[in-house]
Structure formats: structure tokens, C-alpha cells
Amino acid sequence: MRGPHNIWRLIRTGATFQRTGAMGVALDAVDAPARLRLAARVLGWPFAWLGYQGDPDLPPVTRAITALGPAYIKFGQILSTRPDVVGPELAQQLSMLQDRLPPFSQDDARRIIAEDLGQPVEAMFSEFSQPIAAASIAQVHRARRADNGREVAVKVLRPSVEAGFRRDIDAFHFAAGAIELVSPSTRRLRPRDVVSHFESVVTGELDLRREAANASEFAENTEHDADMRVPRPHWHLSARRVLTSDWAEGLPMGDVAALQAAGHDMPKLAARVLQLFLQHALRDGFFHADMHQGNLKVAADGDIVIYDFGIMGEIDEYTRRVYAEILMGFIRRDYMRVALVHFEAGYVPRDRDMAEFARALRGVGEPIFGADASRISMANLLAYLFEVTERFGMATRTELILLQRTMVVVEGVARSIDPQINMWEVARPVVESYIRDNLGPKAAARDLGRSAQVLARFAPLLPEFLERRMPELLRETPPAPVPSRRRGLVTGLLLGAGISLLGMAVGAWLG
């Protein structure tokens, strides 16, 4: 229940950061002003004893986050890929959250597998290792199938993780509601909707059958993509709390020294990670939305292996086109076009000044050009973007949260491999290719053909629908009696035939 009892959870969050020493580290990392540091010290010290102690062997911030639970760990995973925001030292500490958490017992893992798959582990796997990776929601074992000897990865959900996660999200909901109540100006950012969206996508990770379906669809979409691999699920060895998939061999993408020692082309790897994400988001509208280093490996031949499909993003075709036009506008430094796209899509209220908005976008985009990535402060860029959105009344687009967040994460991954990467230059060929295929004359003709086919299916119903509904829509007195259904159907069939011919003609031209 999202009641005041959540205040206790939030107090313990602050107290945990104070007790573990994470408060000072976090404030230093974001270069907090002196007043904020003083307030945190004065308010936090009396309550420090209420905080969780955590594992004293871990660094302070990692210690606090792991003690607080899975939802906090997920947030820390995102920050671990942004050394330009939280600093290299804190980013290094947070990287431990990706796949090096303490595992749960082997006995618990075997029990869960046997319960969900209906057989003892020995009947299904001739080999079953100790945990090789443990994350916030599940851990992974290396195994070998008993029937064919294939090497596989077996992912097992943590015991009682659902209850812990829901408790944390409950407190987040309460905090979001309190923020909106205390500061009405934040309502345009819809913090409660943001928390709800975050809850819905991460809850999907708690059912591994859904992850198996995501992996299967993603593998089909990317089957012909160069320089990448996707481990496929083994359906008969998977269930709600167990997922068995192909074993993915390779070096962790987070181990930069090992990648360099193996002779991999680091700038090429960095560019390919960013381009693959954009390709999947724009072309397929179905993309991996948790592409941190812990979910990426590099095979011996240089292929990027992508796994862990618990969180996926999906965007419709219209939104993909808007997103591509915005990216292309920034790449070409055509800020008036970017502003126009925002207005046409309804992202900015129509009563705002478009020219002024274009100038504000110029202030966001221009610092990027002519500078390498190491000289760009993404923290300052995001702060200025927030000021721009606040000034022009832009509301938070919940359907784009995963896309925006993953873009930040992927850029952070790419930058960790190649600190000099220029994301705009790397993105240009992917975005230009998408625009050529989807925003040119041929794409318009393809859209017309698709629309004609849809209209043809519903054409027999259109006359009667219009005759019945138009007076109401126009707020006029209904006309004389409606023509017979037979006459309407005949008219509709003739209309449908004409539209079908048009669709066939367009289809033939495209073919």
C-alpha cells in the first residue's frame, strides 16, 4: 500500500547512505554545493543508526545500494556507465553492481529449478556449476545438457526477490506523490507515471518466460546483422523462475584491459555498440533496453554478444520517424527543423515560440560539435536540457523513457571503450540510412499502399458508419432516414474495389 508507512523506508534510505559513508562520496561525485553538504550532514547524522550496515568489504556507495535492495541496484547499474556524471572513481565502484553481487546458495538454485521444471537437476543437466555471475534479480550457472551435451547458461531467479522489489517500488511511488504535492511545478514531468513505467518494465524481469520470448524475437530480428550474436533460449528447459539459453563465450565488455590485450579494435567496438542500438531502435522498434557492460561480451572474432533480455524497449513506427528526424536535425545542425518536428509531434505546446525553441536547441547541440567526447560534460548537457524543457512546458514522454535512458547507457558503454568517440558522427550513417528508407518518396508510396489496403478491408462499413455518425460529430440534426444496408454495402464494395486497385498498383510499383 502506498501510504505514509513508506516514509520509514525513505528515512532508512537516507540513513543507510549516512551510516555506510556513501552520503559524502555521492555528494563529492556530483560536486554538491556547500550548503547541501552541510544540510545532509546535520540532518543525516542523528538518523544514521537507523540505516542498514551493508557489507563492510564493499565500497561505500555500492555497500549502501546493495543493502537497500533490487530497485536501488538497478538505478546504480545505470549510473555505473556514466563516469562523466558521477566521476570515474564512483563509476568504478558501481560497476560491481552489474554481475558481481553475492550469490545465493546452490541448494536454493537446484530447488527452484526442480520445482519449476518438474525434474531434478541431474536428470536435465550432466554438469551444473556453482554460480558464475550474480545480479540484482537472478544468478547464472554454467551447465551441460544431459540429452545432447550442449553447453548452456541457466539463469535462476533469486528467492523472494519479488517481495523485496515491490516494497522498494512502493516507496518510490509514495516519494513521487509527495514530490508532486510539495512541488506542483514537477507535475509536468509526471514523476508518478515515470515510476509506474519503470515498475512495469522491470517487473517483466521477474518472469523469465517473458525474457525467453524477448530473446527469441530479438534473435529473429537481428539474424542478419553483422558483428553480433544472440544466445537463443531452450524453451523446454525454461519456466517462470528458470531460463536456459545458449552459452555465450567471450570477454566481458567491461574488462577494457583484457579487450586491449586480446588485440580487439577498440574504436570499432565502441562505434558498433552505439550503431547496433540505434539500428535496432529505428529499424525494428524493439531494442535491448539494458545494454550495460554486464550484458555484453566480445567473442574471439570480435562479434558483440548481447544477452539478458529482461528489459526491452518498444516504440511505434511514427515515433521512430520522429526520433530519427530529431537526431538527423542535430547531426546536420538544423535546429529549426528539430524544433518543427517537436511542434508537429505535439512534444511542445503550440502556443510556444518555435524560433525561440530552436535557439534553445542550438545551445544544447552546438557544444557537441567540434569537441571530442572527453571534453563534453554530459551532466551539464542534461542539466541545460532540463532547463529548456521546463521553460517550454514539455511533458515527460513515458513511451520514450527507455529509449532515452538506454541511449545514455549505451553512450557510456561506448565511451568506456573509446573515450574519444563522437556519438554524433558514429550515429550519422545509421540515421541517414533509416531516413533514406523510411522518409523518402518511396516510403511515402509504401505508406499509401498500406493505408489503401486497410481502407479496402473496412470500405463496406464506411458509408453506413459515416451516415450514422457524421451528424453527431458535426453536431447537426440527423438527416433523413438512413439508406438501406444493402445500398450501403454496394457502395462500400465499389469503394473498396477502387481502393484495392490503388493499393495493388502502388504495391506493384514498389515491387
- Give the SS3 label for residue 418: coil
Structure-block grid coordinates of residue 470: 457524421
Q: Which of 290, 372, 437, 447 is catalytic?
A: 290
Positive or negative, the CA dihedral 383, 388, 390, 391 is positive
- Give the SS3 label for residue 141: strand
Give residue 399's Cα distance to chain centre: 10
Q: What's the CA gap between 282 and 403, in Å, rounded?
A: 10
- To the nearest 10 degrees (0 to 180), the angle between helices 485-510 and 441-458 is 160
Residue 8 CB-density burial (10 A; 0-12 exposed, 13-18 middle, 19+ buried): exposed
Q: What's the CA gap between 89 and 93, in Å, rounded?
A: 7
One-letter identity of residue 52: Y
Q: What is the DSSP string of 96-134?
A: GGTTBSPP--HHHHHHHHHHHHSS-HHHHEEEEEEEEEE
Q: What's the CA gap between 191 and 197, in Å, rounded?
A: 10
Give residue 251's Cα distance to chain centre: 24
Q: What's the CA gap between 61 and 307, in Å, rounded?
A: 27
Strand partners, 304: 228, 298
Active site residue 351: no
- Give how far Cα 292 sits from Cα of 12, 256, 296, 306, Å: 28, 14, 7, 10
Q: What's the CA gap between 118 and 338, in Å, rounded?
A: 56
Q: What's the CA gap between 285 and 48, in Å, rounded?
A: 46
* Beta pairing class for 304-306 and 296-298: antiparallel
| Sheet of strand 138-145: strand arrangement | 125-134, 138-145, 151-157, 242-246
Cβ 119 vs Cβ 132: under 8 Å? no
DSSP-H helix ranges across 459-484: 462-474
Q: What's the CA gap between 230 and 284, in Å, rounded?
A: 16
One-letter identity of residue 508: A
Cβ 388 vs Cβ 436: under 8 Å? no
Task: Kindly give, in sequence order, each residue whose CB lies less than 8 Å from that of residue 234, ignoring residues fewer than 6 positions away.
Answer: 145, 152, 244, 245, 246
- Residues acting as catalytic residues: 290
